[in-house]
Chain A
Amino acid sequence: MSQEELPPVLKASVHDVRYFVSLLRGVNFVNRATITVTKRGMTITVEESRTLLGTAFIFSEIFDEYIYNPEKPQYHQNLLQREREARANANENTLSTQGSSSAMEVTPDLTQPNEAEDDSDNAAFEVPLNTVIECLNIFGTAGGSGGGGGGSSSGGTANVRRWQRDGDNSGEDNETNAEEGGEEGQRRGGRTRRTGYTGVGGEKRTGMRMTYNGSGYPLTLLLAEDSSGPTTTCEITTFDPEPHLELEFDNDQLILKIILKSSWLRDALSELDPSCEKLTFISNPPPPINPLETGGQRNRHPFREDLQPVFRIQAEGTFGTTEMDYPNDREVLETFECKKSLSYTYRFNHIARTLRALQSSTKTSLRIDDEGLLSLQFLMPVTNKRVGAPGGEAPAAFIEFRCLAVDEEL
């Protein structure tokens, strides 16, 4: 096979799969998922009933090793790469293989070159997500199903504690990375040593090496706990990606933007009875009175009496209606922008799909555009950041859900 002589399209390894698995679990509500691999990382996309789209954005920095080679058959991409290096104009070939490429060569120079690159230069395939997660957890050391399960049952203070613990962990990782720094060349050696190191703490970690050889090839996972234990090889059949629902969120159409601590939203949603059918987000621009003074108590009164909630979650079910109001308080709503009064309804079971990601996240951004498209972004705390990465600070991965509003007229 000529393909096998070529470098694999994707080669990624990580010494502890827990963070990676927690991100996968966050979107594991539909089995068939599309994995899109780019130079900067990978995205995992799932879709339900043409209404809800979940995407996990995982940056290459969370892996110990991450190498992406564009797939050979897409000849223009090689050219694009060469073009990138030389910053030269595209030649005839590029134009003949992809009509839109002429537009692409212009945009990189004008706007952010990185992102434009990523859009065009990718490899995508579909996998059964459940199977991937089961495989990663084959030794039972990929972390509990709740991800950040520690904070799921209790309130905000537990979350703070979890934050601290995360901090501690990454501190520990710093040490191990420093230890590894001596022999940076030997990634594998570093990996096993690090698993050994964390093994002192009493728990074992599953290390992973992932390869994908391109369209038609399986996704291969090589898993091991330590050098003495067993190794597992998984070959997961991949499928050609099906086109996904496209839910573009246009920032110009944005009418509500809220950033809040995930626990505030999680506590609210977990209060709701699971038999609820509909969930409505109601928001109004903050009252104009004294916008500088947002000290909680003074503000709380006015909006209750005005019945003009700043931000309200209303759930409707067979047994009744629940309403929850958030105060316009910086302690709670870190960012609150509302351009006009709005009320959009979503199916509760769609919103409930986001709970798993919400539970293991630290911060949530909630946006709604003027057509009712809801975007929920969850910032996933980095637990095993790779500090010595050439790209510098590893950006935390996040999971985004986009959900269409229920058409009220129906």
Chain B
Amino acid sequence: MRFRATLDNVSTFFKIMQTIEKLQKKCIIQFSENYMRIICRNDANEGGVEVWSKIKVDSLFTNYRIQSMADNTITLELYTEALLAALRSATASSSNFSTFGTDVVTMRLAKKNNHAVLALDIQASSRVGKPVSVTHDVMIELMSPQDAERLNEPMCPDPNLHIILPPLHKLRTIVDRLKPMSDILAIRANHNGCLRLSINTESVKVNTEWRKCTLANFPDPTLSQEQEPEDQPDPDQLFSCLVSVRSFLKFLNSHVVSTTTIAAICQNHCIILYVYIGDVTDAGGVLTFYIPAIIDDENF
């Protein structure tokens, strides 16, 4: 089992890990020939949020070499904080010494004291031009190919609609205000491009509405046939999903890395959020968040 690659885009990787780190302590990283996946399963965080990300190897690494018995795939589990700390150190050195252009960050699988580690070698040069070398060893646990095969994305019904969200940092400001007032957030949208975030408690009802949001046209019809017999969906019909405010805020932490975000609403089941890293058309990767619905719609 071998893995070695030069990490070119340290800051993007760092931002991705920042988002993941706020979600949960441990995550699974799977390297394969073309993709790096970061997976957070719902068993480790309270809100049941899952993250399945798929990032093109090219958008982060060069000189990427991988070899393993399991179809050249390596699956490992690590503490997000440890990897984040290593990456932070790498971003700091790359920003400080960027003028020298000699900064190389290499990521490799290694064994130290009989324990598997993901080693991050940072080659930089000091202000006076002397080479500096820093190595971070992030403890990892390798997953057996059998366990790795059991990792499956959650099953979801066909979403009722896909809508492009407003800039996430703006959403975050609003949801931050709502957090002390309610635990549950309702997300509603219709085919006219109307998006609503609302809370409804005994003491206050708050509804924030965006109009003219762009709908994302996915090739498959966005309506499931059982629910809506007509071919043409009613453009004003709102599809809603109740989620935990905290879980939604965890997803909104990804505003640091996002460019475009598409929300897919599976009414009363879940909300799926595709956070694109880089431009949508030429996406270097996508972080997919699954936030389960809270089934308690008496008041909404």
Contacts and interface: CB of A to CB of B under 8 A. Distances in A.
B207 A232 contact: yes
B208 interface: yes
A233 B209 contact: yes
A41 to B, nearest CB: 24
Contact of A230 (B177, B178, B205, B210): B210
Interface string A88-130: 0000000000000000000000000000000000000000101
Contact of A128 (B170, B178, B203, B209): B203
B204 A128 contact: yes
Given A131-B181, A138-B174, A138-B177, A235 B210 contact: no
Interface in B164-184: 166, 170, 173-174, 176-178, 180-181
Contacts of A168: none
A234 B198 CA distance: 9
A165 to B, nearest CB: 25
A189 interface: no
Contact of B204 (A135, A229, A230): A135
B156 interface: no
B206 A138 contact: yes
Interface string A331-352: 0000000000000000000000
Contacts of A128: 203-204
Contacts of A167: none
Interface in A227-285: 229-237
B226 interface: no
A229 B170 CA distance: 10
A230 B209 contact: yes
B197 to A, nearest CB: 9
A177 B266 CA distance: 48
A135 B203 contact: no
B179 to A, nearest CB: 9
A139 to B, nearest CB: 6
A139 B204 contact: no
Contacts of B202: 237
A137 interface: yes
Contacts of B209: 230-233
Nearest to B212: A228
Nearest to B201: A237
Contact of A137 (B166, B177, B210): B177
A237 B177 contact: no
Contacts of B203: 128, 131, 236-237
B172 to A, nearest CB: 9
Contacts of A231: 208-209
B204 A140 contact: no
Contacts of A234: 204-207
A235 B174 contact: no
B107 to A, nearest CB: 37
Contact of A235 (B178, B204, B208): B204
Contacts of B176: 140
Contacts of A130: 180
Contacts of A232: 174, 206-209
B206 A233 contact: yes
Nearest to A131: B204
The interface centre, meaning the residue of B180, B205, B206, B210 with most chain A CB atoms within 10 A of its CB, is: B206
A401 to B, nearest CB: 26
Given A230-B210, A231-B209, A234-B205, A139 B180 contact: no
Interface string A212-236: 0000001000000000011111111
Nearest to B210: A230
Nearest to B175: A138
A134 B180 contact: yes
A137 B166 CA distance: 18
A138 B206 CA distance: 10
A230 B166 contact: yes
Contacts of B205: 218, 233-235
Interface in A127-153: 128, 130-131, 134-135, 137-140
A236 B204 contact: yes
A139 B173 contact: yes
A135 B208 contact: no
Nearest to A235: B205
A231 B211 CA distance: 9
Interface of B: 166, 170, 173-174, 176-178, 180-181, 202-210
9 contacts: A135-B206, A139-B173, A230-B209, A231-B209, A232-B209, A233-B207, A233-B208, A234-B205, A234-B206
Give the top 6 A-B pairs by smallest Cβ distance, nearest first: A140-B173, A235-B205, A232-B208, A230-B210, A234-B206, A233-B207
Given A139-B173, A218-B205, A232-B209, 14 more contacts: A128-B203, A128-B204, A130-B180, A134-B177, A134-B181, A137-B177, A230-B209, A230-B210, A231-B209, A233-B206, A233-B209, A234-B206, A235-B205, A235-B206
